[in-house]
Structure 1
Amino acid sequence: MADYRVPREDMQFVLQDVFKVHEDWAKIEAFADVDIDTAVAIIDEGAKLAEGLIAPNARAADEEGVSFDNGVVTTPQGYKENFKQLAEGGWVGVTANPDFGGMGLPKSVSAQYEEMLCAADISFSLYSGLTAGAIMTIDQHGSDELKATYLENMISGNWAGSMCLTEPHAGTDLGIIRTKAIPNEDGSFAISGTKIFITGGEHDLTDNIIHLVLAKLPDAPAGSKGISLFLVPKFLVNADGSIGERNGVHCGSTEHKMGIHASATCVMNFDGAKGWLVGEPHKGLPAMFTMMNYERLGVGIQGLGAAARSYQNALEYAQDRIQGRGAKATQQPEKEADPIIVHGDVRRMLLTMKAFVEGGRAFSTYVGQQLDLAKYAADAETRQRAEALVQLLTPVAKAFLTDTGFEATVLGQQVFGGHGFIREWGQEQLVRDCRIAQIYEGTNGIQALDLLGRKVAGSRGELLKPLLADIQALLAEPLAGFEAEYQQLADATQLVHEVTVQVLSKVVDDENIINSVAVEYLNLIGYVAFGYVWLRMAAAAAPQVAEKPHLASKLKTAKFYMARILPRIESLATTIKDGSQSLYLHDLGDF
């Protein structure tokens, strides 16, 4: 596998030139000390960790995996030392509240760091990623006492966090969970139940693990409205802040998985474990979604990171691998064959990966920018507009970035040919590790239902308007040499409008339409959104090409995306227009 190299220049280009995030920071009190120089310094320091510490250990860690012995989980060699170094550098608390020791950086910056960490080793990234999400949830919804007791040690990386939702019988349908929370006399609760698929539920990286657990109180109403959220530590914490006795929570087993072998995926048993309510009773799901919105972008970035590593590997291989002859203009007669990068099909695969990776980097930054504005912008109108974009784009970020990420890892494997199927080259690990990102944190089908059913249909199309307005603002100032591409994006935007109107008009008469076309609709939005960020990148790059010749590649890749990838929306629109008709021709016995 090629050595991983963090694309520092591209990350700075996206932040500074494309989205001009520093102009937002200047208006936000929480980011008063953050500027582009700060962001570049963060990227450079994070790159040292990703390139020099984490990436070199990824394949060995995957081969070793985690081990389980009578409730004890041991992570692969090097993980404990690397996590300690990560924590000592303050990287667990990149976006966390400075009042408790966090860096307090914008999400648009942390998105770059998350990408490099995921590209280096997805398994390793999960331990700090879940902890960061737990920190955010406790900070926003926990009592002052809970914050004082837990946040500092979690932000410092002395303690880790986990998110405990899924049960053996309850995955997507959390309303039917059976985990119970019985009030204790001291104000705490006794938590009993079993959770499965818990990432980082048990490990040896930290002194304590703080579980956020969904459970139901005795008087809970039925369904999702009866879910409460509880903080349940692995070890109880004494009044002086020291670690006390073991709580009633234990790991029953770890899963044997297709990928992310170095990430501990645990069955967690809560046997009257002592826990504390986070937020209000029966309001656990909205509190957990504080974490989930950020985590879903984070999972999307896992797909992006795997795609970025796949592209780097495949590009290096295609430049070195000598095989066959290309067109006459590209032949190297002094050699016995040409590098495979001269072949049209290899170029198709490489450019598709490049378009997905650089487009995904821009899109994840755009979503991160909206998360920052929704949380910190000074005026209410800006916050509300950003929140609308966050609601709309969060499921797209999770699903589309992981779908295109998986496509890019498979394309990278294909560039390698037979070597892509062999473990020592590392490409097959990227395929395996990326695959889970399409499944957990809400499957991509569920994300699509959320987008089309809850967000678009639920708002009668209102949540689409800020995105379409951003696209229209770009189209109002056409870029010389890109007139055809700008018109193409305008036509694509009109197609989104037409398809949306058609679906919404059928909802009353076709009860199955949302479920039947949601995935195609999400992909339609995803491809159009990528078209938007690609033309934004082209517009930002064009004036600088003379000074920075490497940016000419942005213009060329933008044209490739518009010519070869965006047209996929035509087939998606055709499928959407079919509605549920072809899916419900079969009776159940016909399958």
Structure 2
Amino acid sequence: MGQYSAPLRDMQFVLHELLDVEGTLKTLPPHAEIDAETINQVIEEAGKFCSEVIFPLNQVGDREGCKYEGNGVVTTPSGFREAYQQYVEAGWPALGCDPAYGGQGLPVLVNNAVYEMLNSANQAWTMYPGLSHGAYECLHAHGTDEQKKLYLEKLVSGVWTGTMCLTEPHCGTDLGILRTKAEPDANGSYRLTGTKIFISSGEHDMAENILHLVLARLPDAPAGTKGISLFIVPKFIPDANGAVGERNGIACGSIEHKMGIHGNATCVMNLDGARGWLVGEPNKGLNAMFVMMNAARLGVGMQGLGLTEVAYQNSVTYAKERLQMRALTGPKAPDKPADPIIVHPDVRRMLLTQRAYAEGGRAFSYWIATQIDIELSHPDEAARKEAADLVALLTPVVKAFLTDNAFIATNEALQVYGGHGYIAEWGMEQYVRDARINMIYEGTNTIQSLDLLGRKVLGDMGAKLKKFGKLVQDFIEEEGTNEAMQEFVNPLADLGEKVTKLTMEIGMKAMQNQDEAGAAAVPYLRVVGHLVFAYFWARMAKIALEKSASGDAFYVAKLATARFYFARLLPETAMQIRAARSGSASLMALDADLF
């Protein structure tokens, strides 16, 4: 079955030594009283729930999957429903929610850290409460007072869950051509008709009601994305007291049989005159839904991080125990018939790749969550704007870079196991299958790359990118005379200069031919992702250098991992820069009929 233990020591290192979150929270009025001890207690208790309650259900969920029983009924794998009730009874859904609706009011950062552990333990299960939290955020930002009163307490408590219904059979990311219709009803509601597909958590037996956030078109809506409205469509229509009432005209028609995440019900949802209520303004539903979509993109990044961490934990345990051949430099376990495979250089490469991507991703994603807290709660408008720009710039990088890395890491973990990794018993092949969807949904990683380069960088002439670049440059200048830091600062500075030149070059070429941006986008995101990781790894190396002299094994390992990252992973940027600069000609020259 494998194992999972929350990486509390590294989480606490990132939270308190790298980011000094207690100091940051003191500047945010809603969170000024939250101290490091409180944060540690929350993540420790969450870690216990993850390892003891939902991790044991991970392989169960994969083997059993969800079952479509007919007539719109879906059942989840054994133990899923009971685990969710424990989750609700312990108050975990309320962690990062508004106290006005029964929430605990903790920072986004803390909620984010908890979701890393949930995803490590059981990604498919975690998608049920994860999507519900996104629905909460959307309604909290754009719902009417009546909608908030009716729905938010139910979502905050976890008694009801939520979904996002975007995709249709003929359109995925291109929402401008969706066909679901919303006809005004006499009582102020709307009647929705259409079909949505790939709806995660669309139907299940874990909660008494499901609130679907559905994109649809009003009769007089303009064409394209400017004509999309957002509606809340409950499975059961609440009565005047907020209790579950009559069954609505939205139902699951079937569930998908998928490569991975078998424990999550991916549904075809049919709307047949289903009653819905407008959220936000008519024809501006995409703006409202982006609250949920951006939350989902960050959430998917955490799915990638969670799988990277759990795959690493299991593969390193296996590498210490599995005996195979002798070390090239002579026996390291002469009392045994062979050495453990962790003595072999390439096994070390695979393990360190996973470790570097997990620890780098943790630093990056926790910092992004801190910026979201600043954006939401800082009293200074300029500070809020600065944080908002950094979050907007780097959200596609969190989603795409962390999930790309997770697929790399889970494949490396499987390879460490060799043939045992390929069979189901050890659980590693499940992580590879589960990790693969994270590169696809909530906007494929190509879409994220186009968003980064086209909208977030070239769209404002590099203004947001320069803001992150200033953080990098300030750190380089601070450490410029520190001889011990040159092995980290020099490659960071070099990459920063190359990103600036590459951005200008692509921008100039794209002015003549927009295909140039499309051709460069994916390698460009990989380069920016490494710039971000190099910045955080350099900062972590600085702390480790200062503290490793004490002999503390944690800092010794952190420093060694930083050196591995700069020596073995950062050089990927040379290839990606060449690919990005190569242009669109080699991609577009072949006529489509010749493929």
TM-score with structure 1 setting the length: 0.99
Asked whether 1:587 is paired with 2:591, we answer yes
CA distance in 1, matches of 2:544, 2:26: 23
Q: What is the CA distance between 1:421 and its match in structure 2?
A: 0.3
Contact 2:236 2:244 (C-alpha < 8 Å) held by counterparts:
yes
Asked whether 1:44 is paired with 2:47, we answer no
CA distance in 2, matches of 1:120, 1:55: 4
CA distance in 2, matches of 1:354, 1:481: 23
Q: Which residue of 1 aligns with 2:164?
A: 163
Q: What is the CA distance between 1:73 and its match in structure 2?
A: 0.2
Q: What is the CA distance between 1:579 and its match in structure 2?
A: 1.3
Contact 1:237 1:244 (C-alpha < 8 Å) held by counterparts:
yes
Q: What is the CA distance between 1:577 and its match in structure 2?
A: 1.0
Q: Which residue of 2 aligns with 1:518?
A: 521
CA distance in 2, matches of 1:220, 1:91: 40
Tell me the secondary structure at the aligned position of residue 341 of structure 1: helix
Q: Which residue of 2 aligns with 1:471?
A: 472
In structure 2, what residue type is equivalent to 1:580?
S
CA distance in 2, matches of 1:236, 1:575: 53
CA distance in 2, matches of 1:443, 1:326: 42
Q: Which residue of 2 aligns with 1:504?
A: 507
Q: Which residue of 2 aligns with 1:126?
A: 127
Contact 1:2 1:312 (C-alpha < 8 Å) held by counterparts:
no
Asked whether 1:561 is paired with 2:565, we answer yes
Asked whether 1:262 is paired with 2:266, we answer no
Q: What is the CA distance between 1:3 and its match in structure 2?
A: 1.5
Q: What is the CA distance between 1:29 and its match in structure 2?
A: 1.1
Q: Quote the sequence identity (%).
A: 50
Q: Which residue of 1 aligns with 2:62?
A: 62
Tell me the secondary structure at the aligned position of residue 106 of structure 2: coil
Q: What is the CA distance between 1:171 and its match in structure 2?
A: 0.5
Q: What is the CA distance between 1:511 and its match in structure 2?
A: 2.2
Contact 2:64 2:77 (C-alpha < 8 Å) held by counterparts:
yes
Q: Which residue of 1 aligns with 2:208?
A: 207
Matches within 5 A, 1:281-300: 281-300=282-301
Q: Which moved more, 1:237-246 or 1:545-554?
A: 545-554
In structure 1, what residue type is equivalent to 2:529?
G
CA offsets 1:92-132 (integer angstroms, 9 cap, x no match) = 12211111011222122222111110000100000000000
CA distance in 2, matches of 1:135, 1:548: 43
Structure 1 residues 59 and 418: alpha-carbon distance in aligned structure 2, compared to 1, 3 A threshold: same
Contact 2:227 2:283 (C-alpha < 8 Å) held by counterparts:
yes
Contact 2:485 2:542 (C-alpha < 8 Å) held by counterparts:
no
Q: What is the CA distance between 1:547 and its match in structure 2?
A: 7.1
Instruction: Specify every segment of 5 or more residues in structure 1 that has no aligned partner in the other structure, as ranges.
Output: none
CA distance in 2, matches of 1:274, 1:396: 37
CA offsets 1:339-372 (integer angstroms, 9 cap, x no match) = 0000000001000110001111111111111111
Contact 1:134 1:163 (C-alpha < 8 Å) held by counterparts:
yes
Q: Which residue of 1 aligns with 2:2?
A: 2
CA distance in 2, matches of 1:2, 1:211: 35
Q: What is the CA distance between 1:221 and its match in structure 2?
A: 1.0
Q: Which residue of 1 aligns with 2:349?
A: 348
Matches within 5 A, 1:168-179: 168-179=169-180
Contact 2:356 2:561 (C-alpha < 8 Å) held by counterparts:
yes
The one of 524, 532, 539 equivalent to 2:542 is 539
Q: What is the CA distance between 1:34 and its match in structure 2?
A: 1.6
Q: What is the CA distance between 1:33 and its match in structure 2?
A: 3.0
CA distance in 2, matches of 1:228, 1:480: 57
Matches within 5 A, 1:413-492: 413-478=414-479, 479-492=482-495
CA distance in 2, matches of 1:202, 1:31: 36
TM-score with structure 2 setting the length: 0.98
Contact 1:209 1:233 (C-alpha < 8 Å) held by counterparts:
yes
CA distance in 2, matches of 1:329, 1:537: 34
Matches within 5 A, 1:234-245: 234-245=235-246
In structure 2, what residue type is equivalent to 1:342?
V
Q: Which moved more, 1:456-465 or 1:121-130?
A: 456-465
Q: Which residue of 1 aligns with 2:386?
A: 385
Q: What is the CA distance between 1:184 and its match in structure 2?
A: 1.1
In structure 2, what residue type is equivalent to 1:515?
G
CA distance in 2, matches of 1:49, 1:331: 38
Q: Which residue of 2 aligns with 1:365?
A: 366
Instruction: Specify every segment of 5 or more residues in structure 2 that has no aligned partner in the other structure, as ranges.
Output: none
Q: What is the CA distance between 1:329 and its match in structure 2?
A: 5.5
Q: What is the CA distance between 1:590 and its match in structure 2?
A: 2.2
Q: What is the CA distance between 1:460 and its match in structure 2?
A: 1.0
Q: Which residue of 2 aligns with 1:337?
A: 338
CA distance in 1, matches of 2:219, 2:377: 37
Tell me the secondary structure at the aligned position of residue 418 of structure 2: helix
